[in-house]
Amino acid sequence: MSTQHVALTVNGEAREADVEPRFLLVHLLRDVFGLTGTHIGCDTSNCGACTVHVDGESVKSCTMLAVQADGAEIRTIEGMADGAALHPLQQAFWDQHGLQCGFCTPGMIMQAAWLLDQNPTPSEHEIREGISGNLCRCTGYVNIVKAIQQASGQLETGESAPVEAAETIEAAPAS
Amino acid sequence: MIPAPFDYVRPADLDEALRILTEREGEAKLLAGGYSLIPLLKLRLAQPGLLVDLRDVAGLDGILWTDDSLRIGGRVTHRRIRDDEGIAARMAVFHDAAGLIGDPQVRNRGTIGGSCAHADPSSDWPAVLCATRATIVCRSAAGSRSVAARQFFLGTFQTAIEPTEVLVEIAVPLPKGRAGSAYRKLERRAGDFATVGVAVQLRLGDDGRIAEAGVGLTAVGEAPFAATDAEAALTGAEPGEAAFQAAGEAAAAQSDPADDSHGPADYKRAMVAEMTVRALRAAAERSTTPQGGPQ
Protein backbone atom coordinates (compact mmCIF):
# COMPACT_ATOMS: atom_id res chain seq x y z
CA MET A 1 0.00 0.00 0.00
CA SER A 2 1.39 3.35 -0.97
CA THR A 3 2.15 5.91 1.68
CA GLN A 4 1.60 9.64 1.70
CA HIS A 5 3.84 12.32 3.09
CA VAL A 6 2.35 14.53 5.79
CA ALA A 7 3.94 17.64 7.29
CA LEU A 8 2.33 19.24 10.29
CA THR A 9 3.12 21.30 13.36
CA VAL A 10 2.76 19.58 16.72
CA ASN A 11 3.01 21.74 19.83
CA GLY A 12 4.90 24.36 17.82
CA GLU A 13 7.38 21.89 16.35
CA ALA A 14 7.49 20.96 12.65
CA ARG A 15 6.99 17.21 12.16
CA GLU A 16 6.85 14.97 9.09
CA ALA A 17 6.00 11.37 8.41
CA ASP A 18 5.12 8.95 5.65
CA VAL A 19 1.84 7.22 6.47
CA GLU A 20 -0.72 4.97 4.89
CA PRO A 21 -3.94 6.89 4.20
CA ARG A 22 -5.79 4.63 6.65
CA PHE A 23 -3.46 5.60 9.52
CA LEU A 24 -5.29 7.51 12.26
CA LEU A 25 -4.09 10.81 13.69
CA VAL A 26 -3.98 9.38 17.21
CA HIS A 27 -1.57 6.66 16.06
CA LEU A 28 0.62 9.21 14.33
CA LEU A 29 0.84 11.21 17.56
CA ARG A 30 1.41 8.24 19.85
CA ASP A 31 3.28 5.64 17.81
CA VAL A 32 5.29 7.76 15.39
CA PHE A 33 5.88 10.98 17.34
CA GLY A 34 5.96 9.29 20.77
CA LEU A 35 3.41 11.68 22.27
CA THR A 36 1.62 9.11 24.40
CA GLY A 37 -0.17 11.67 26.56
CA THR A 38 -3.06 11.48 24.10
CA HIS A 39 -4.95 8.35 25.08
CA ILE A 40 -7.02 5.84 23.11
CA GLY A 41 -10.09 4.94 25.12
CA CYS A 42 -13.16 3.69 23.30
CA ASP A 43 -11.75 4.03 19.76
CA THR A 44 -15.30 4.83 18.58
CA SER A 45 -15.40 8.66 19.02
CA ASN A 46 -17.50 8.43 22.19
CA CYS A 47 -15.15 8.85 25.13
CA GLY A 48 -13.00 11.87 24.20
CA ALA A 49 -9.76 10.54 25.77
CA CYS A 50 -8.03 11.18 22.41
CA THR A 51 -9.12 14.85 22.19
CA VAL A 52 -6.49 17.17 20.68
CA HIS A 53 -6.68 20.56 18.97
CA VAL A 54 -6.43 20.72 15.18
CA ASP A 55 -6.08 24.30 13.96
CA GLY A 56 -7.60 25.49 17.23
CA GLU A 57 -10.63 23.17 17.19
CA SER A 58 -11.01 20.26 19.59
CA VAL A 59 -11.38 16.97 17.76
CA LYS A 60 -11.31 13.28 18.58
CA SER A 61 -8.06 12.09 17.04
CA CYS A 62 -9.26 8.47 16.82
CA THR A 63 -11.79 9.66 14.24
CA MET A 64 -9.45 11.62 12.02
CA LEU A 65 -6.99 10.29 9.47
CA ALA A 66 -3.40 11.44 9.72
CA VAL A 67 -3.58 12.58 6.09
CA GLN A 68 -6.49 14.89 7.01
CA ALA A 69 -4.13 16.69 9.40
CA ASP A 70 -1.53 17.41 6.70
CA GLY A 71 -0.54 21.06 7.05
CA ALA A 72 -2.44 21.50 10.31
CA GLU A 73 -1.34 22.86 13.66
CA ILE A 74 -1.86 20.26 16.36
CA ARG A 75 -1.80 20.83 20.09
CA THR A 76 -1.68 17.93 22.52
CA ILE A 77 -1.50 17.67 26.30
CA GLU A 78 2.32 17.72 26.01
CA GLY A 79 2.06 21.25 24.63
CA MET A 80 0.15 22.67 27.60
CA ALA A 81 2.79 23.15 30.32
CA ASP A 82 5.36 25.94 29.96
CA GLY A 83 8.53 24.14 30.98
CA ALA A 84 8.12 23.18 34.63
CA ALA A 85 5.15 25.52 35.06
CA LEU A 86 1.84 23.71 34.69
CA HIS A 87 -0.87 25.18 32.47
CA PRO A 88 -3.60 26.80 34.63
CA LEU A 89 -5.93 23.93 33.74
CA GLN A 90 -3.36 21.33 34.75
CA GLN A 91 -2.78 23.19 38.02
CA ALA A 92 -6.52 23.42 38.60
CA PHE A 93 -7.05 19.67 38.01
CA TRP A 94 -4.25 19.12 40.55
CA ASP A 95 -5.67 21.60 43.10
CA GLN A 96 -9.27 20.43 42.80
CA HIS A 97 -8.43 16.72 42.54
CA GLY A 98 -10.12 16.63 39.12
CA LEU A 99 -8.91 13.11 38.44
CA GLN A 100 -8.60 9.72 40.03
CA CYS A 101 -7.16 7.17 37.60
CA GLY A 102 -6.18 9.95 35.20
CA PHE A 103 -6.99 8.12 31.97
CA CYS A 104 -9.51 10.70 30.75
CA THR A 105 -7.49 13.67 31.99
CA PRO A 106 -5.47 14.59 28.87
CA GLY A 107 -8.60 14.64 26.72
CA MET A 108 -10.60 16.37 29.43
CA ILE A 109 -7.99 19.14 29.76
CA MET A 110 -7.74 19.63 25.99
CA GLN A 111 -11.53 19.87 25.70
CA ALA A 112 -11.66 22.26 28.68
CA ALA A 113 -8.95 24.40 27.05
CA TRP A 114 -11.00 24.62 23.85
CA LEU A 115 -14.12 25.46 25.86
CA LEU A 116 -12.35 28.30 27.68
CA ASP A 117 -11.00 29.58 24.35
CA GLN A 118 -14.61 29.86 23.16
CA ASN A 119 -16.12 31.02 26.43
CA PRO A 120 -13.65 32.29 29.06
CA THR A 121 -16.21 32.33 31.91
CA PRO A 122 -18.65 29.47 31.30
CA SER A 123 -21.48 28.72 33.72
CA GLU A 124 -21.54 25.31 35.40
CA HIS A 125 -24.15 24.20 32.86
CA GLU A 126 -21.99 25.40 29.97
CA ILE A 127 -19.00 23.54 31.41
CA ARG A 128 -20.99 20.32 31.74
CA GLU A 129 -22.31 20.71 28.20
CA GLY A 130 -18.80 21.59 26.96
CA ILE A 131 -17.30 18.36 28.30
CA SER A 132 -20.28 16.19 27.35
CA GLY A 133 -18.11 14.42 24.76
CA ASN A 134 -15.56 13.37 27.39
CA LEU A 135 -16.30 10.45 29.69
CA CYS A 136 -14.83 10.05 33.16
CA ARG A 137 -15.66 6.82 34.99
CA CYS A 138 -14.04 7.78 38.32
CA THR A 139 -14.82 11.25 39.56
CA GLY A 140 -18.49 11.82 38.90
CA TYR A 141 -17.34 15.05 37.19
CA VAL A 142 -17.88 17.29 40.23
CA ASN A 143 -14.19 18.05 40.77
CA ILE A 144 -13.55 18.27 37.03
CA VAL A 145 -16.17 21.01 36.82
CA LYS A 146 -14.58 22.74 39.83
CA ALA A 147 -11.17 22.54 38.18
CA ILE A 148 -12.48 24.21 35.04
CA GLN A 149 -14.17 26.85 37.18
CA GLN A 150 -10.85 27.49 38.94
CA ALA A 151 -8.94 27.74 35.66
CA SER A 152 -11.52 30.23 34.40
CA GLY A 153 -10.96 32.38 37.50
CA GLN A 154 -14.39 31.61 38.91
CA LEU A 155 -13.16 29.70 41.95
CA GLU A 156 -10.47 30.61 44.44
CA THR A 157 -7.34 28.52 43.97
CA GLY A 158 -7.33 27.66 47.69
CA GLU A 159 -10.92 26.34 47.62
CA SER A 160 -9.77 22.78 47.41
CA ALA A 161 -12.38 20.06 47.35
CA PRO A 162 -10.13 17.21 48.61
CA VAL A 163 -9.30 19.18 51.79
CA GLU A 164 -13.00 19.71 52.55
CA ALA A 165 -13.65 16.02 51.99
CA ALA A 166 -10.83 15.05 54.34
CA GLU A 167 -12.20 17.31 57.10
CA THR A 168 -15.60 15.69 56.75
CA ILE A 169 -14.13 12.24 57.19
CA GLU A 170 -12.12 13.29 60.26
CA ALA A 171 -15.22 14.82 61.82
CA ALA A 172 -17.22 11.62 61.39
CA PRO A 173 -17.50 9.50 64.55
CA ALA A 174 -15.54 6.28 64.51
CA SER A 175 -17.76 3.24 64.12
CA MET B 1 -9.46 -0.49 15.04
CA ILE B 2 -7.71 0.10 11.73
CA PRO B 3 -9.62 0.65 8.47
CA ALA B 4 -8.95 -1.58 5.47
CA PRO B 5 -6.49 0.00 3.02
CA PHE B 6 -7.69 2.66 0.60
CA ASP B 7 -6.23 5.29 -1.69
CA TYR B 8 -6.61 8.95 -0.80
CA VAL B 9 -6.77 12.07 -2.96
CA ARG B 10 -7.32 15.73 -2.18
CA PRO B 11 -8.68 17.42 -5.30
CA ALA B 12 -8.04 21.15 -5.60
CA ASP B 13 -11.51 22.09 -6.78
CA LEU B 14 -15.00 20.74 -7.41
CA ASP B 15 -14.40 19.98 -11.10
CA GLU B 16 -11.46 17.77 -10.24
CA ALA B 17 -13.48 16.03 -7.49
CA LEU B 18 -16.34 15.37 -9.92
CA ARG B 19 -13.94 14.04 -12.56
CA ILE B 20 -12.45 11.61 -10.03
CA LEU B 21 -15.92 10.46 -8.96
CA THR B 22 -16.80 9.73 -12.59
CA GLU B 23 -13.52 7.95 -13.34
CA ARG B 24 -13.69 5.80 -10.19
CA GLU B 25 -17.47 5.40 -10.05
CA GLY B 26 -18.62 2.97 -7.41
CA GLU B 27 -15.17 2.80 -5.86
CA ALA B 28 -14.79 6.33 -4.47
CA LYS B 29 -16.30 7.79 -1.31
CA LEU B 30 -16.32 11.47 -0.42
CA LEU B 31 -14.74 12.61 2.85
CA ALA B 32 -15.64 15.88 4.59
CA GLY B 33 -15.43 15.91 8.40
CA GLY B 34 -15.26 12.13 8.51
CA TYR B 35 -17.34 11.69 11.65
CA SER B 36 -19.83 9.42 9.91
CA LEU B 37 -17.50 7.72 7.45
CA ILE B 38 -14.40 7.03 9.55
CA PRO B 39 -16.28 4.99 12.20
CA LEU B 40 -17.72 2.86 9.37
CA LEU B 41 -14.23 2.44 7.87
CA LYS B 42 -12.83 1.40 11.25
CA LEU B 43 -15.58 -1.17 11.71
CA ARG B 44 -14.93 -2.21 8.09
CA LEU B 45 -18.62 -1.81 7.33
CA ALA B 46 -17.44 0.41 4.48
CA GLN B 47 -14.38 -0.49 2.41
CA PRO B 48 -14.11 2.02 -0.43
CA GLY B 49 -11.11 1.81 -2.73
CA LEU B 50 -10.61 5.56 -2.73
CA LEU B 51 -11.37 8.46 -0.41
CA VAL B 52 -11.83 11.86 -2.04
CA ASP B 53 -11.17 14.52 0.59
CA LEU B 54 -13.20 17.69 -0.04
CA ARG B 55 -11.03 19.75 2.28
CA ASP B 56 -9.50 21.98 -0.41
CA VAL B 57 -12.66 22.34 -2.52
CA ALA B 58 -13.89 25.93 -2.33
CA GLY B 59 -17.52 26.96 -2.42
CA LEU B 60 -18.99 24.35 -0.08
CA ASP B 61 -18.93 26.24 3.21
CA GLY B 62 -21.26 29.19 2.80
CA ILE B 63 -24.28 30.18 4.88
CA LEU B 64 -26.19 32.51 2.55
CA TRP B 65 -29.57 34.21 2.69
CA THR B 66 -31.57 35.13 -0.38
CA ASP B 67 -34.98 36.84 -0.37
CA ASP B 68 -36.77 33.53 -0.13
CA SER B 69 -34.25 30.92 0.97
CA LEU B 70 -31.47 29.95 3.34
CA ARG B 71 -28.63 28.15 1.57
CA ILE B 72 -26.19 26.05 3.59
CA GLY B 73 -23.10 24.59 1.90
CA GLY B 74 -22.56 20.86 2.18
CA ARG B 75 -19.34 21.17 4.17
CA VAL B 76 -20.70 23.58 6.81
CA THR B 77 -20.10 22.07 10.24
CA HIS B 78 -22.83 21.50 12.81
CA ARG B 79 -21.02 23.94 15.06
CA ARG B 80 -21.15 26.80 12.54
CA ILE B 81 -24.87 26.25 12.12
CA ARG B 82 -25.31 26.20 15.90
CA ASP B 83 -23.31 29.44 16.32
CA ASP B 84 -24.92 31.33 13.43
CA GLU B 85 -27.01 34.14 14.91
CA GLY B 86 -29.13 34.60 11.81
CA ILE B 87 -30.11 30.93 11.84
CA ALA B 88 -30.91 31.09 15.56
CA ALA B 89 -33.16 34.09 14.97
CA ARG B 90 -34.84 33.06 11.74
CA MET B 91 -34.69 29.25 11.38
CA ALA B 92 -34.58 28.08 14.97
CA VAL B 93 -35.17 24.42 14.10
CA PHE B 94 -31.65 24.31 12.60
CA HIS B 95 -30.21 25.93 15.73
CA ASP B 96 -32.01 23.40 17.94
CA ALA B 97 -30.89 20.36 15.95
CA ALA B 98 -27.27 21.49 15.49
CA GLY B 99 -26.84 21.75 19.26
CA LEU B 100 -28.13 18.22 19.84
CA ILE B 101 -25.90 16.35 17.38
CA GLY B 102 -23.21 14.23 19.03
CA ASP B 103 -20.96 16.27 21.30
CA PRO B 104 -18.82 19.41 20.91
CA GLN B 105 -15.92 17.64 19.21
CA VAL B 106 -18.28 15.89 16.78
CA ARG B 107 -19.95 19.23 16.01
CA ASN B 108 -16.54 20.82 15.37
CA ARG B 109 -15.80 18.37 12.56
CA GLY B 110 -19.05 16.85 11.35
CA THR B 111 -20.86 18.50 8.42
CA ILE B 112 -24.50 18.81 7.39
CA GLY B 113 -23.78 17.49 3.90
CA GLY B 114 -21.83 14.52 5.19
CA SER B 115 -24.54 13.67 7.68
CA CYS B 116 -27.30 13.86 5.06
CA ALA B 117 -25.38 11.84 2.46
CA HIS B 118 -24.59 9.22 5.10
CA ALA B 119 -28.30 9.04 6.05
CA ASP B 120 -28.21 7.24 9.34
CA PRO B 121 -31.90 6.58 10.05
CA SER B 122 -31.50 8.11 13.54
CA SER B 123 -29.62 11.25 12.47
CA ASP B 124 -31.12 14.66 13.17
CA TRP B 125 -30.79 16.72 9.99
CA PRO B 126 -33.08 14.68 7.72
CA ALA B 127 -36.12 15.31 9.95
CA VAL B 128 -35.33 19.03 9.92
CA LEU B 129 -35.01 19.11 6.14
CA CYS B 130 -38.28 17.21 5.72
CA ALA B 131 -40.14 19.55 8.09
CA THR B 132 -38.85 22.70 6.37
CA ARG B 133 -39.40 21.28 2.85
CA ALA B 134 -35.76 21.85 1.99
CA THR B 135 -34.16 20.72 -1.24
CA ILE B 136 -30.77 19.09 -1.60
CA VAL B 137 -28.57 20.25 -4.45
CA CYS B 138 -26.44 17.50 -6.00
CA ARG B 139 -23.75 18.27 -8.56
CA SER B 140 -22.13 15.87 -11.01
CA ALA B 141 -19.85 16.45 -13.98
CA ALA B 142 -23.06 16.60 -16.06
CA GLY B 143 -24.63 19.41 -14.04
CA SER B 144 -26.76 20.19 -10.98
CA ARG B 145 -30.09 18.89 -9.82
CA SER B 146 -32.26 19.60 -6.80
CA VAL B 147 -33.98 16.82 -4.92
CA ALA B 148 -36.70 17.53 -2.38
CA ALA B 149 -35.62 16.28 1.05
CA ARG B 150 -38.88 14.33 1.23
CA GLN B 151 -37.73 12.32 -1.80
CA PHE B 152 -34.04 12.17 -0.86
CA PHE B 153 -33.96 9.86 2.18
CA LEU B 154 -34.92 6.46 0.82
CA GLY B 155 -33.94 4.00 3.53
CA THR B 156 -31.31 3.04 6.08
CA PHE B 157 -28.08 4.63 4.77
CA GLN B 158 -29.81 5.05 1.39
CA THR B 159 -30.42 8.32 -0.42
CA ALA B 160 -31.21 9.56 -3.91
CA ILE B 161 -27.65 10.82 -4.42
CA GLU B 162 -25.69 9.13 -7.23
CA PRO B 163 -22.12 7.84 -6.74
CA THR B 164 -20.89 10.47 -9.21
CA GLU B 165 -22.50 13.39 -7.35
CA VAL B 166 -21.39 15.75 -4.60
CA LEU B 167 -23.98 17.14 -2.18
CA VAL B 168 -23.06 20.80 -2.60
CA GLU B 169 -25.86 22.68 -0.90
CA ILE B 170 -29.06 22.54 1.13
CA ALA B 171 -31.67 25.10 0.12
CA VAL B 172 -34.33 25.90 2.70
CA PRO B 173 -37.35 27.97 1.65
CA LEU B 174 -38.09 30.80 4.10
CA PRO B 175 -41.69 30.85 5.33
CA LYS B 176 -43.42 34.17 4.69
CA GLY B 177 -45.07 36.06 7.51
CA ARG B 178 -45.46 34.72 11.03
CA ALA B 179 -43.71 31.40 11.42
CA GLY B 180 -41.86 29.34 13.98
CA SER B 181 -39.94 26.09 14.07
CA ALA B 182 -38.39 23.73 16.59
CA TYR B 183 -36.60 20.39 16.97
CA ARG B 184 -37.08 18.17 20.00
CA LYS B 185 -35.02 15.05 20.54
CA LEU B 186 -35.35 12.26 23.06
CA GLU B 187 -31.98 10.66 23.77
CA ARG B 188 -30.98 8.14 26.41
CA ARG B 189 -27.68 9.86 27.20
CA ALA B 190 -26.17 13.18 26.14
CA GLY B 191 -24.81 12.86 22.62
CA ASP B 192 -26.67 9.67 21.71
CA PHE B 193 -28.44 9.14 18.44
CA ALA B 194 -32.11 9.98 18.78
CA THR B 195 -34.56 7.54 20.32
CA VAL B 196 -37.17 9.82 18.77
CA GLY B 197 -36.59 13.14 17.01
CA VAL B 198 -39.30 15.54 15.84
CA ALA B 199 -38.78 18.66 13.73
CA VAL B 200 -41.70 21.01 13.10
CA GLN B 201 -42.38 24.26 11.32
CA LEU B 202 -45.61 26.26 11.53
CA ARG B 203 -46.64 29.16 9.32
CA LEU B 204 -49.62 31.16 10.49
CA GLY B 205 -52.07 32.91 8.19
CA ASP B 206 -53.51 36.41 8.68
CA ASP B 207 -56.41 34.85 10.58
CA GLY B 208 -53.99 33.35 13.11
CA ARG B 209 -54.74 29.80 11.99
CA ILE B 210 -52.05 27.40 10.81
CA ALA B 211 -51.64 28.00 7.07
CA GLU B 212 -48.90 25.45 6.56
CA ALA B 213 -47.30 22.83 8.79
CA GLY B 214 -44.19 20.70 8.39
CA VAL B 215 -43.46 17.72 10.62
CA GLY B 216 -40.36 15.55 10.15
CA LEU B 217 -39.60 12.44 12.21
CA THR B 218 -36.34 10.61 12.74
CA ALA B 219 -35.39 7.25 14.28
CA VAL B 220 -38.92 5.84 13.98
CA GLY B 221 -38.80 4.30 10.52
CA GLU B 222 -36.33 2.88 8.00
CA ALA B 223 -35.67 6.43 6.92
CA PRO B 224 -36.63 9.85 8.28
CA PHE B 225 -39.93 11.00 6.82
CA ALA B 226 -42.56 13.73 6.82
CA ALA B 227 -45.53 12.94 9.05
CA THR B 228 -48.06 14.03 6.46
CA ASP B 229 -51.08 12.96 8.54
CA ALA B 230 -49.93 15.23 11.36
CA GLU B 231 -49.43 18.07 8.87
CA ALA B 232 -52.98 17.57 7.60
CA ALA B 233 -54.32 17.61 11.16
CA LEU B 234 -52.61 20.94 11.80
CA THR B 235 -53.40 22.76 8.57
CA GLY B 236 -56.29 25.16 9.04
CA ALA B 237 -56.46 24.59 12.80
CA GLU B 238 -56.02 27.11 15.60
CA PRO B 239 -52.50 26.70 17.02
CA GLY B 240 -53.17 25.20 20.45
CA GLU B 241 -53.28 22.07 22.58
CA ALA B 242 -56.19 20.41 20.76
CA ALA B 243 -54.50 20.61 17.37
CA PHE B 244 -51.09 19.70 18.81
CA GLN B 245 -52.43 16.60 20.58
CA ALA B 246 -54.23 15.50 17.40
CA ALA B 247 -51.03 16.02 15.40
CA GLY B 248 -49.03 14.06 17.98
CA GLU B 249 -51.41 11.13 17.72
CA ALA B 250 -51.32 11.26 13.91
CA ALA B 251 -47.50 11.35 13.92
CA ALA B 252 -47.36 8.39 16.29
CA ALA B 253 -49.77 6.41 14.12
CA GLN B 254 -47.70 7.13 11.01
CA SER B 255 -44.40 6.12 12.60
CA ASP B 256 -43.04 2.61 12.37
CA PRO B 257 -40.38 2.24 15.06
CA ALA B 258 -38.43 -0.94 15.77
CA ASP B 259 -38.00 -2.64 19.15
CA ASP B 260 -34.35 -2.15 20.13
CA SER B 261 -32.08 -1.18 23.01
CA HIS B 262 -33.62 2.30 23.02
CA GLY B 263 -37.01 0.82 23.90
CA PRO B 264 -39.99 -1.12 22.59
CA ALA B 265 -41.99 0.16 19.63
CA ASP B 266 -45.09 1.13 21.61
CA TYR B 267 -42.98 3.26 23.96
CA LYS B 268 -41.35 5.00 21.01
CA ARG B 269 -44.74 5.66 19.44
CA ALA B 270 -45.91 7.26 22.68
CA MET B 271 -42.75 9.37 22.69
CA VAL B 272 -43.37 10.47 19.09
CA ALA B 273 -46.73 11.86 20.23
CA GLU B 274 -45.21 13.63 23.23
CA MET B 275 -42.16 15.06 21.43
CA THR B 276 -44.38 16.24 18.57
CA VAL B 277 -46.57 18.15 21.03
CA ARG B 278 -43.51 19.69 22.72
CA ALA B 279 -41.97 20.73 19.41
CA LEU B 280 -45.26 22.26 18.26
CA ARG B 281 -45.64 24.25 21.48
CA ALA B 282 -42.13 25.67 21.02
CA ALA B 283 -42.72 26.47 17.35
CA ALA B 284 -46.04 28.17 18.13
CA GLU B 285 -44.43 30.27 20.83
CA ARG B 286 -41.67 31.30 18.45
CA SER B 287 -44.19 32.18 15.74
CA THR B 288 -45.41 35.13 17.82
CA THR B 289 -42.20 37.01 16.97
CA PRO B 290 -42.13 38.59 13.52
CA GLN B 291 -39.14 36.59 12.25
CA GLY B 292 -39.89 33.28 13.88
CA GLY B 293 -36.92 33.33 16.24
CA PRO B 294 -36.63 32.27 19.85
CA GLN B 295 -38.11 34.63 22.42
Average pLDDT over residues B114-135: 97
Q: Give tens-digit pLDDT for B24-35.
A: 998 999 999 999
A102 and A165 assigned to the same domain: yes
The stretch B119-126 carries a mean pLDDT of 96
Q: Is 0.90 exceeded by the ipTM? A: yes
Query: In this complex, do B8 and A4 lie within 8 Å of one another by their Cβ atoms?
Result: yes
Mean pLDDT in residue range B122-127: 97
Residue A169's pLDDT is 45
Assigned domain for A63 exists: yes
What are the tens digits of pLDDT across the range A75-109?
999 999 999 999 999 999 999 999 999 999 999 99
User: What's A128's domain CATH number?
Assistant: 1.10.150.120
pLDDT tier at A156, thresholds 50, 70, 90: confident
Q: pLDDT for A29-40, tens place per residue?
A: 999 999 999 999
The Cα B122–Cα B117 span in angstroms is 13
Please check the confidence at residue A159 and state whether its pLDDT lies above 90. Answer: no
Asked if residues B9 and B19 have their Cβ atoms less than 8 Å apart, the reply is no
Give the domain CATH number at A17.
Answer: 3.10.20.30
Which residues lie across from B179 on neighbouring strands? B203
Mean pLDDT score, A20-36: 98
Residue pairs between chains A and B whose CB atoms are closer than 8 Å: 79
Q: Which of A79, A110, A138 is the last residue of a domain?
A: A79
A110, A103, A89, A100: which is closest to A140 by C-alpha?
A100
Confidence label for A157 from pLDDT (cuts 50, 70 and 90): low
Residue B290 has pLDDT above 60, yes or no: no
Over residues B113-119, the mean pLDDT reads: 97
Cβ–Cβ below 8 Å for B104 and A22: no
Where in chain B are the domains?
Answer: 7-53, 63-173, 179-285
Asked whether residue A163 carries a pLDDT value surpassing 70, the answer given is: no
Residues A100 and A162 grouped into a single domain: yes
Q: What percent of chain B has pLDDT over 70?
A: 98
pLDDT exceeds cutoff 90 at A46 = yes
Tell whether domain B63-173 is in CATH 3.40.50.720. Answer: no
Mean pLDDT of A102-121: 98
pLDDT value of position A152: 97
Q: What is the mean pLDDT of residues B230-241?
A: 98
The domain total for chain A is 2
| Statement to judge: residues A96 and A156 lie in one domain | yes
Range of the domain at A53: 4-79
Residues A75, A119 share a domain: no
Q: How far apart are CA B156 and CA B259, in angstroms?
A: 16
Put simply, the answer to whether A132 touches B105 (Cβ < 8 Å) is no
**Chain B interface residues (partner A, CB cutoff 8 A):** 1-8, 10, 31, 34-35, 38-39, 41-42, 51, 53, 55, 102-106, 108-109, 190-191
| pLDDT one-digit tens code per residue, B71-99 | 999 999 999 999 999 999 999 999 999 99
Could you tell me which of B251, B257, B239, B253 has the C-alpha nearest to residue B276?
A: B251
Is residue A175 in a domain? no
Which ranges constitute the DSSP H helices of B132-191?
A: 149-152
Name the helix (H) or strand (E) containing A2. none
| Final residue belonging to a domain, choices A50, A79, A108 | A79
Would you call A132 and B103 a contact, using CB atoms and an 8 Å cutoff? yes
pLDDT tens string B2-26: 999 999 999 999 999 999 999 999 8
Q: In which band, very low, low, confident or very high, does the pLDDT at A175 lie, cut at 50, 70 and 90?
A: very low
B2 contacts on A by Cβ (under 8 Å): 22, 24
- DSSP letter, residue A98: -
Shared-domain flag, residues A134 and A71: no
Percent of chain A with pLDDT over 90: 87
- In a shared domain, residues A75 and A128: no
Q: Do A39 and A71 lie in a common domain?
A: yes
| Judgement on whether residues A152 and A94 belong to the same structural domain of the protein | yes
- What does pTM read for this prediction? 0.93
Position B289 scores a pLDDT of 62
CA-to-CA distance for B6 and A159, rounded, in angstroms? 53
Q: Are residues A147 and A105 in the same domain?
A: yes
What is the predicted pLDDT for the residue at B288? 73
> What kind of architecture, by CATH, is found in domain B7-53?
2-Layer Sandwich (3.30)
DSSP H helical ranges for chain A: 25-27, 88-95, 105-118, 124-130, 142-151, 161-171
Is residue A119, in this structure, part of any structural domain at all?
A: yes
Residues of A with Cβ-Cβ distance to B5 under 8 angstroms: 1, 20-22
Q: Output the DSSP codes for B96-116.
A: HHHTTSS-HHHHHH-BHHHHH
User: What is the pLDDT of chain B when averaged over all its residues?
Assistant: 95
Q: Are B133 and B150 in contact (CB under 8 A)?
A: yes
Distance from the Cα of A160 to chain B's closest Cα (Å) equals: 28
Domain B179-285 CATH assignment equals 3.30.9.60: no
B206: number of Cβ within 10 Å: 8
Asked whether residue A116 falls in the same domain as residue A70, the answer is no
Q: Position A145: which residue type?
A: V
Phi and psi (nearest 5°) for B3? -65, 160
**Of the candidates A38, A59, A79, which is a domain's last residue?**
A79
If you average pLDDT over residues A62-79, what whole number do you get?
Answer: 98
Residue A173 has pLDDT above 60, yes or no: no
Whether A95 maps to a domain, the answer reads: yes
Q: What is the pLDDT of residue A1?
A: 62
Distance from C-alpha of A67 to C-alpha of B8, rounded to nearest angstrom: 8
Confidence of residue B171 (pLDDT cuts 50, 70, 90): very high
A150 contacts A92 by C-beta, under 8 angstroms: yes
Judgement on whether residues A92 and A125 belong to the same structural domain of the protein: yes
Closest CB to B105 among A22, A58, A68: A58
- Can you give the pLDDT at residue B247? 98
Q: What is the bridge-based pairing of β-strands A4-10 and A13-19?
A: antiparallel
Answer yes or no: is A116 within a domain: yes
The beta-carbon neighbor of A133 closest among B7, B39, B105 is B105
| A65–B5 CB contact, under 8 Å | no
- B107-124 average pLDDT score: 96
How many other CB atoms are found less than 10 A from the CB of residue B146?
12
Residue B189 pLDDT level (bands cut at 50, 70, 90): confident
Residues A114 and A154 occupy one common structural domain: yes
